[in-house]
Amino acid sequence: MQPASPGNPPTDQPASATPMGAKRLDELLNRIQKLTNEEASSHPADARPPATPAAQPLPAAMLDTPSQRAAWYPAEPTSFRAAGLSESEVEHLILKYLNARAEASGRDLAEQVRLPFRLIDPLLQSMKDEQMLAHKGAAMMNDYVFTLSGVGRDRAKKLADHCTYYGAAPVPLKDYIASVSAQTISDQHPTEVDLQRAFQDLLIDERMLMRLGPAINSGRGLFLFGAPGNGKTSIAERVTKAFGEHIWIPRALGVDGEIMRLFDPSMHEEAPIEGSGGLLDDRKLDHRWVRIKRPTIVVGGELTMDSLEVTLNTVTNVSEAPVQMKSNCGTLVIDDFGRQRMTTDELLNRWIVPLEKRYDFLNLSSGKKIQVPFDQLIIFSTNLEPRDLVDDAFLRRIPYKIEVIDPSEAAFRKLLVIMAKKLGITYDQTAVDYLVEKHYKSVNRPYRACQPRDLLQQVVNYCRYTKRPIVMSRENFDFAVENYFAVM
């Protein structure tokens, strides 16, 4: 007897008796019938949304242990109230979208605002009854194509003048705060195996891994300092891989009537669930949220005080979350620390409380101050001595200070082997011995982790230009060294 699936009743027929294509078609038809029946039974065509629906508990509130919180996901809301929305908020998004797109089916509108169709359908009928919408024609599966009436268009234009946003319905701030608590890096305790996996593409000393492990486990902050070119940024960028792989974040937040964008495609990498969104997918997810890889956000000399505050686009009236908020549940790398447009004292004064308390205060354009989580591993990467940059009060709040030292001669030679393979150059031990003796030992030049890659790239470019075989040789290394170390 086959086990029952969400869309299939049990059957005594063996699995091998039904061809795979026919079986999949039966599942699809059953799923379509299930969806249609749910919508029809939940909301008849003339039904109205209930005035006071029961509130749905936020899943994160019921997750008490780290193992439970690790499996957290945003559950599909059963009502507007459970979603933390009013009907008017959703109505405004629909009006502005139709004003921009002219027409759309009910299911297209539900997809646009990322809410279940069974919640949107009765609202659309109500808006039609109020003569804000009109039916332009029929659509599939008991749906209609909607367009704005004259009254609706006037209303939509006024709304767009105030705020142009008509994307995914916003998630309440309290739900976002609960989600950060459910997915916090404080519950992630990477082991030695996790770190070896995270740094498998880097040649990194075992002693360095041993020092990094406790710092990453703390989930708080660390200084990576040392000479330039030894891989501080490369190390910092890979730290997040030691944590859990994915988190959920809202596409946008609703805070006191303001829209704040949180999901940023330039900083976040979306990680859709395989097979999600199809008719056969029975998982009830809240699609206002997006599943992403745990973020690793790197900011350098371009960091300013404005980057740490909520910024308002005065044309669209849509706010943008600050960089530290976008990095929650991940890693924020302050690269080349000490060379930002702001002084280190300014950053110290701005973050000294958040680093200690694990929460931050942000000012909205309305003047209201809100409290948000400050939940990320912050890595300050610098070529300078930390004590020369900040005072003891700040250093105390960054509990780990790790120096990334120069590679040994053996590590330098191993890096040459690795990079030669990547660049398609045959490794020549004699040429490497010449490079080390002539251009390093004889002039007391320190090794740097970046130099094998950089020197071999110079060799490749030189050989291509002169139409010579791309090989390691004394002449090629002499040329590369002369160029590379001309002012060093």
Q: Which residue has the higher pLDDT, 262 or 347?
A: 262
Residue of 124, 104, 107 lying closest to 116 (CA atoms): 107
Using pLDDT thresholds of 50, 70 and 90, give the confidence band for residue 281.
low
Identify the pLDDT of residue 2: 45
Report residue 286 as tokens: 């809240």
Using pLDDT thresholds of 50, 70 and 90, give the confidence band for residue 110.
very high
High-pLDDT (> 70) share of the chain, %: 84
What mean pLDDT do residues 244-261 have? Answer: 93
Identify the pLDDT of residue 254: 95
- Determine phi and psi for 380, rounding to 5 degrees: -95, 110
Please return the burial class of 463, using the count of CB atoms within 10 Å of its CB with bins 0-12, 13-18 and 19+. Answer: middle
Ranked by mean pLDDT, the top range of 5-14, 63-72, 388-397, 448-457 is 448-457
Using pLDDT thresholds of 50, 70 and 90, give the confidence band for residue 64.
very low
Identify the pLDDT of residue 27: 61
Identify the pLDDT of residue 145: 92
Residues 6 or more apart in contact with residue 425 via CB below 8 angstroms = 456, 459, 460, 470, 471, 472
What mean pLDDT do residues 458-481 have? Answer: 94
Report residue 118 as tokens: 């069974």
- Mean pLDDT value across the chain: 84
What mean pLDDT do residues 330-355 have? Answer: 86
What mean pLDDT do residues 344-349 have? Answer: 83
What mean pLDDT do residues 348-357 have? Answer: 87
Residue of 90, 78, 84 lying closest to 50 (CA atoms): 78
What mean pLDDT do residues 74-89 have? Answer: 95
Residue appearing with tokens 């041993």:
210
Identify the pLDDT of residue 15: 41
Max Cα-Cα span within the chain: 89
Identify the pLDDT of residue 487: 75
- Given a cut of 70, whether residue 47 has pLDDT beyond it is no
Q: Domains (ranges, CATH) in the chain?
A: 1-42 (no CATH), 79-168 (1.10.10.10), 175-403 (3.40.50.300), 409-484 (1.10.8)
What mean pLDDT do residues 234-251 have? Answer: 89
Residue appearing with tokens 């880097």:
202
Ranked by mean pLDDT, the top range of 211-215, 273-277, 370-374, 389-393 is 370-374
Specify the pairing of strand 143-148 against strand 400-403.
Answer: unpaired
Using pLDDT thresholds of 50, 70 and 90, give the confidence band for residue 138.
confident
Using pLDDT thresholds of 50, 70 and 90, give the confidence band for residue 23.
low
Identify the pLDDT of residue 60: 45
- Given a cut of 60, whether residue 33 has pLDDT beyond it is no
- Given a cut of 60, whether residue 433 has pLDDT beyond it is yes
CA distance 31 to 37: 10
Q: Are 460 and 241 in contact (CB under 8 A)?
A: no
Q: Please state the three-class secondary structure of the chain as a single string.
A: CECCECCECCECCCHHHCCHHHHHHHHHHHHHHHHHHHHHHHCCCCCCCCCCCCCCCCHHHHCCCHHHHHCCCCECCCCCCCCCCCHHHHHHHHHHHHHHHCEEEHHHHHHHHCCCHHHHHHHHHHHHHCCCEEEEEEECCCEEEEEECHHHHHHHHHHHHHCCCCCCCCEEHHHHHHHHHHHCHHHCCCCHHHHHHHCCCCCCCHHHHHHHHHHHHHCCEEEEECCCCCCHHHHHHHHHHHCCCEEEEECEEEECCEEEECCCCCCCCECCCCCCCCCCCCCCECCCEEEEECCEEEECCCCCHHHHCCEEECCCCEEECCHHHHCCCCEEEECCCCCCCCCHHHHHHHHHHHHHHCEEEEECCCCCEEEEECCCEEEEEECCCHHHHCCHHHHHHCCEEEECCCCCHHHHHHHHHHHHHHHCCECCHHHHHHHHHHHHHCCCCCCCCCHHHHHHHHHHHHHHHHCCCCECCHHHHHHHHHHHCCCC
What mean pLDDT do residues 44-71 have? Answer: 44
What mean pLDDT do residues 260-271 have? Answer: 95
High-pLDDT (> 90) share of the chain, %: 56
CA distance 288 to 249: 9
Q: Are 481 and 455 in contact (CB under 8 A)?
A: yes
pLDDT tens, residue by residue, 96-108: 999 999 899 999 9
Residue of 176, 187, 177 lying closest to 69 (CA atoms): 187
pLDDT tens, residue by residue, 140-153: 878 889 999 999 99
Using pLDDT thresholds of 50, 70 and 90, give the confidence band for residue 275.
low
- Of 118-122, 350-354, 440-444, least confident by mean pLDDT is 350-354
pTM: 0.79
Output the CA–CA distances (angstroms, integers) from residue 485 to 22, 59, 317, 440, 446, in the order listed: 68, 58, 51, 11, 12
Residue of 31, 21, 114, 25 lying closest to 282 (CA atoms): 31
- Given a cut of 60, whether residue 39 has pLDDT beyond it is no
Q: Could you tell me how far CA 282 lies from the centroid of its own chain?
A: 25
Using pLDDT thresholds of 50, 70 and 90, give the confidence band for residue 318.
very high
Identify the pLDDT of residue 397: 82
Specify the pairing of strand 171-172 against strand 296-299.
Answer: unpaired
Identify the pLDDT of residue 28: 58
- Given a cut of 70, whether residue 356 has pLDDT beyond it is yes
What mean pLDDT do residues 392-402 have? Answer: 85
